[in-house]
């Protein structure tokens, strides 16, 4: 019998859809079709490519509510978040469309002629997306890759293929040429692996676990295949005693609970200067206990379920009985529910304090001074994001520069904007996505010298 993916509603455990899983043969056929479509696309006038991408953005804009509701059903995201996610796809397409006609090479002064560089498309790009932000992360690869003249084959996560499939339909509706953007729902170890191994795929853009990211990087090394990796995180939220403690405490809960903590940027290590520790915990605890957890389709809900039973078991395994925690509430009954949880007595080397839990769980740890804060913040194999709260601008800059992470925010928890670069230090990843250079990551630079003396 052929393999199928069963998509469950994580809030109810009901089956939402059953989708045939792509095989290795499906990947071969998709790559051949993509290669032909890419050659035509790269040869089209830049202004026409930009216009089509803008039209794609407009069609997505007309389907925000439909896409958002699909994300609520397949991923359990709150409706407010899901609307933002669909809107982010639109914005990414618009932003990338603006880059098509600005993707210029350079003219470099040399003797005996002129020297110019061209930014040429790579060819067929494989985007392997995770389940935690199925739409935005797919579009982080898709939009700039298409804009730079490539074709894209997207393999969504096993649990969340539906919005990806719908986006492919909307692309065709917008007039994006057939086979330029294909979606292959399938298993990581089958369709994902086939994309990684395929000689016709020029680059892999992967977001997911550090474990799988390392395997993909090793396989790409065999062919010197280009690869961008967005992996895990264990990001610090550093609160200095001189900060606006009320504001820092008000923001801290959703900084690790948003998307039920299934966010590689989740600020799951709350580091608080010892002199303000007790006061900060007093301010923070009610904010965790009062988070509204429940039906993700309800506008008032702040936190929905985890994605799957496997993820629920994984999260549970980190919060062992010997730990003390401040807890919020979660629904009983069907669905993959876990309450907001702040562990208050884990040591800095406990698994819950060092590993990516990917659920609504954070730890709080004291530090003594600035040096100690930076040491604790950097005591991790990860380096994706982080926040720091202080009223001292010199300290804000010093600590931002000293924390080894790709995305820092001061007196806020912002980290992802389509117009600013995003990516990790250390084992959080390789390469950058988004921002002014997003398209360049999907090109090769070719240098051409033309003699004026012949
Ligand atoms: P995963 O890394 O297994 O899956 C991510 C994507 O990679 C999926 O599309 C999957 O099908 C694909 N994949 C899996 N194995 C593959 C392979 N061998 N070759 C090619 N593609 C492959 O992540 P997961 O198992 O869904 O989640 C496990 C943990 O990973 C989570 O608990 C979390 O800690 C972490 N995670 C991090 C992110 C992130 O954004 N950093 C996203 C998802 C998961």
Give yes or no for residue 101 having a pLDDT over 70: yes
Query: Taking residues 183-205, what's their average pLDDT?
Result: 98
Residue whose CA is closest, atom 7 of ligand 1? 188
Q: How far apart are CA 390 and CA 395, in angstroms?
A: 7
How high is the pLDDT of residue 58?
A: 98
Query: Taking residues 48-68, what's their average pLDDT?
Result: 98
Indicate if ligand 1 lies below 6 Å from the C-beta of 192.
yes
| Consecutive H or E run containing 419 | none
How high is the pLDDT of residue 387?
A: 98
Query: Taking residues 102-129, what's their average pLDDT?
Result: 98
How high is the pLDDT of residue 67?
A: 98
Indicate if ligand 1 lies below 6 Å from the C-beta of 358.
yes
Query: Taking residues 114-130, what's their average pLDDT?
Result: 98
Which ligand 1 atom minimizes the distance to the CA of 233?
41
Per cent of the chain over pLDDT 90 is 99
How high is the pLDDT of residue 254?
A: 98
Q: Is 356 among the residues known to form the active site? A: yes
Please tell me the distance between residue 27's alpha carbon and the centre of ligand 1 in angstroms: 19
Determine the 3-state secondary structure of 101 from DSSP: coil
Per cent of the chain over pLDDT 70 is 100
Report the residue count for the chain.
454
Query: Taking residues 325-338, what's their average pLDDT?
Result: 97
Give yes or no for residue 289 having a pLDDT over 80: yes
Please tell me the distance between residue 207's alpha carbon and the centre of ligand 1 in angstroms: 7
**Cβ–Cβ contacts within 10 Å for residue 310, how many?**
11
Q: Residue 2 — pLDDT band, cuts 50, 70, 90?
A: confident
Indicate if ligand 1 lies below 6 Å from the C-beta of 357.
no
Whether the Cβ atoms of residue 356 and residue 318 lie closer than 8 Å to each other: no
Record: fold of 236-416: Aldehyde Dehydrogenase; Chain A, domain 2 (3.40.309)
User: Domain 4-231+428-451: which CATH class?
Assistant: alpha beta
| The two three-digit tokens of residue 362, written as one number | 């954070």
Determine the 3-state secondary structure of 369 from DSSP: coil
Mean pLDDT across the chain: 97
Specify the residue for token string 């993820």. 311
Considering the candidates 71, 74, 155, 225, report the single residue annotated as catalytic: 155
Q: Is 220 among the residues known to form the active site? A: no
Considering the candidates 71, 74, 85, 356, report the single residue annotated as catalytic: 356
| Closest listed residue to residue 191, CA positions, set 146, 122, 132, 128 | 128
Give yes or no for residue 414 having a pLDDT over 90: no
User: Which is it for strands 181-183 and 151-155: parallel, antiparallel or unpaired?
Assistant: parallel
Q: In the chain, where are the structural domains located?
A: 4-231+428-451, 236-416
Q: What is the DSSP string of 12-78?
A: T--EEEEEEPP-HHHHHHHHHHHHHHHHHHHHS-HHHHHHHHHHHHHHHHTTHHHHHHHHHHHH---
Q: What is the DSSP string of 232-283?
A: ----EEEE-TTS-HHHHHHHHHHHHHGGGG--TT---EEEEEHHHHHHHHHH
Please tell me the distance between residue 208's alpha carbon and the centre of ligand 1 in angstroms: 4
Q: Is 230 among the residues known to form the active site? A: yes
Indicate if ligand 1 lies below 6 Å from the C-beta of 22.
no
Q: Percentage helix, strand, coil, to 5, in the chain? A: 40, 20, 40
How high is the pLDDT of residue 454?
A: 77
Question: Nearest 5°: phi and psi at 109?
Answer: -70, 125
Give yes or no for residue 126 having a pLDDT over 90: yes
Residue whose CA is closest, atom 6 of ligand 1? 130
How high is the pLDDT of residue 1?
A: 64
């Amino acid at each position: 019998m052929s393999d199928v993916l069963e998509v469950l509603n994580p809030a109810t455990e009901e089956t939402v859809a059953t989708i045939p899983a792509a095989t290795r043969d499906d990947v071969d056929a998709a790559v051949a079709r993509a290669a032909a479509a890419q050659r035509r696309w790269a040869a089209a006038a830049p202004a026409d490519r930009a216009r089509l991408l803008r039209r794609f953005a407009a069609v997505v804009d007309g389907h925000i509510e439909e896409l958002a509701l699909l994300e609520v059903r397949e991923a359990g995201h709150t409706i407010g978040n899901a609307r933002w996610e669909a809107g982010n796809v639109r914005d990414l397409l618009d932003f990338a469309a603006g880059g098509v006609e600005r993707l210029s090479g350079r003219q470099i002064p040399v003797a005996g002629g002129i020297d110019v560089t061209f930014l040429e498309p790579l060819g067929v790009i494989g985007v392997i997306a995770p389940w935690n932000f199925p739409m935005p992360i797919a579009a982080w690869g898709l939009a700039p890759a298409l804009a730079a003249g490539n074709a894209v084959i997207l393999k969504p996560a096993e649990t969340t293929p539906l919005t990806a499939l719908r986006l492919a339909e909307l692309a065709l509706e917008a007039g994006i040429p057939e086979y330029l953007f294909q979606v292959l729902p399938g298993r990581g170890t089958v369709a994902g692996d086939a994309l990684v191994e395929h000689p016709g795929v020029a680059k892999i853009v992967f977001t997911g676990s550090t474990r799988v990211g390392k395997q993909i990087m090793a396989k790409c090394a065999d062919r010197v295949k280009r690869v961008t990796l967005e992996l895990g995180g264990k990001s610090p939220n550093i609160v200095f005693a001189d900060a606006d403690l009320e504001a820092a405490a008000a923001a801290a809960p959703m900084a690790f609970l948003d998307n039920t903590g299934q966010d590689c940027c989740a600020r799951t290590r709350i580091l608080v200067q010892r002199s303000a520790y007790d006061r900060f915990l007093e301010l923070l605890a009610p904010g965790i206990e009062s988070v509204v957890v429940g039906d993700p389709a309800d506008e008032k809900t702040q936190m929905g379920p985890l994605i799957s039973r496997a993820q629920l078991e994984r999260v549970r395994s980190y919060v062992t009985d010997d730990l003390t925690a401040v807890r919020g509430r979660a629904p009983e009954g069907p669905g993959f529910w876990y309450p907001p949880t702040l562990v208050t007595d884990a040591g800095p080397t406990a698994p819950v304090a060092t590993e990516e839990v990917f659920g609504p769980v954070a730890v709080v740890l004291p530090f003594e001074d600035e040096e100690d804060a930076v040491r604790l913040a950097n005591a991790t194999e990860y380096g994706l994001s982080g926040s720091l709260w202080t009223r001292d601008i010199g300290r804000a800059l010093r600590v931002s520069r000293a924390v080894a992470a790709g995305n820092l925010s001061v007196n806020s928890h912002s980290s992802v904007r389509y117009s600013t670069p995003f990516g990790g230090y250390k084992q959080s990843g390789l390469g950058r996505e988004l921002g002014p250079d997003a398209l360049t990551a999907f090109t090769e630079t070719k240098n051409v010298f033309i003699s004026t003396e012949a």
